[in-house]
């Protein structure tokens, strides 16, 4: 992993840590799989920090550009999944560049 995570310099240290934890959850969904509840918990916290959908899309795009991991498919799958289910994102879910 040779990239940095997107964040705002206006955020507190705790908020930066929480946003990074969310993006690390997205990475893990592609690499090994994650529990549905873990995805949704970190996403809810992300939404507390980034409440505007337009800003969310901007951060998702920035993260995808540097990492290759699309956030939206992971969140979509987590919302559809049953409690206790493991979310494993497919590399085919990544947006084509």
- Run of H or E residues at 16: helix 13-31
pLDDT in tens, 50-95: 999 999 999 999 999 999 999 999 999 999 999 999 999 987 655 4
On average, the pLDDT of the chain sits at 93
Domain ranges of the chain: 13-83
pLDDT in tens, 8-56: 999 999 999 999 999 999 999 999 999 999 999 999 999 999 999 999 9
d(CA 64, CA 45): 19
Fold of 13-83: Annexin V; domain 1 (1.10.220)
Q: What is the pLDDT of residue 93?
A: 53
User: How is residue 32 annotated by DSSP?
Assistant: T
The model's pTM = 0.90
């Amino acid at each position: 992993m040779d990239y940095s995570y997107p964040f705002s310099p206006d955020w507190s240290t705790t908020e930066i840590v929480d946003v990074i934890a969310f993006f690390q959850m997205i990475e893990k969904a592609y690499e090994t799989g994650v529990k549905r509840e873990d995805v949704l918990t970190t996403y809810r916290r992300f939404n507390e920090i980034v409440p505007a959908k337009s800003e969310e899309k901007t951060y998702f795009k920035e993260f995808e550009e540097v990492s290759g991991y699309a956030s939206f498919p992971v969140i979509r799958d987590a919302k559809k999944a049953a409690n206790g289910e493991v979310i494993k994102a497919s590399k085919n879910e990544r947006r084509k560049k």
